[in-house]
A and B are shown apart, each in its own frame.
Chain A
């Protein structure tokens, strides 16, 4: 039986489609008895989606002082 540490590694590899048939089977066996790793699997996917989405939600603007600084740099640059 694989350990939880291995199982979580396998879960991440599986997300990328990089887990061999044998290891997929080992993972399946592990998940059958380990609720922690099962939670990890679901939460991991949720985090992936959330992180992706978060980048599109950024509303920050470059502070005016930084814009001014860049403007000045460009003006003196050839």
Chain B
């Protein structure tokens, strides 16, 4: 890889890597940092690149590992705060039925065109309201289809933590989309 010049390399791959990282960390600054770290790590190790896989896949592999590390940091911060965080339920009342404000409403506007820039903006804003660890679990599950067992192992969380996180994330996201898109 040493024969490559850095400029060409960045030209060829930086947008692609950025577009991969962005929806997974859902934070532009964090995504930029991850791309930068990926290039640096790859560049420092370029002598070890044997060309068994394509350059592109090699960079993807490095980036994926960086993203997992990023998720792990969020999950380490979580360990102590989870019980407190789960008590902050506001979707259900004392009998565990939907509160009137949180109960799902009919998305009659479901035919509103979804594959639009405007909708994706709303979706991203709603995702940004998720806590980092929720976003980590959410992205692994819904963007990359990682199994729950694998997610628990990677993030070092228990199965019951996992279900609490997914449940809360889905409730929150659903409500946010309803308020800011479907019933708007």
**Which residues on A are within 8 Å of B, measured CB to CB?**
3-6, 8-9, 12-13, 16, 18, 36-37, 39-40, 43-44, 46-48, 50-55, 57-63, 66-67, 69-71, 73-75, 77-78
Contact = CB atoms under 8 A, between A and B. Distances in A.
A22 to B, nearest CB: 17
B104 interface: yes
Contacts of A8: 167, 170-171
Contacts of B114: 50
Which of the four size classes fits the interface of chain B? 35 or more
A36 B103 contact: yes
A69 B39 CA distance: 11
A3 B174 contact: no
Q: Is the interface of A mostly helix, strand, loop or mixed?
A: helix
Given A16-B148, A51-B123, 7 more contacts: A43-B107, A46-B110, A50-B123, A52-B143, A58-B19, A71-B10, A74-B6
B36 interface: yes
Nearest to A6: B96
B61 to A, nearest CB: 18
Interface string B15-27: 1011100111000
B19 A54 contact: no
Contacts of B28: 60
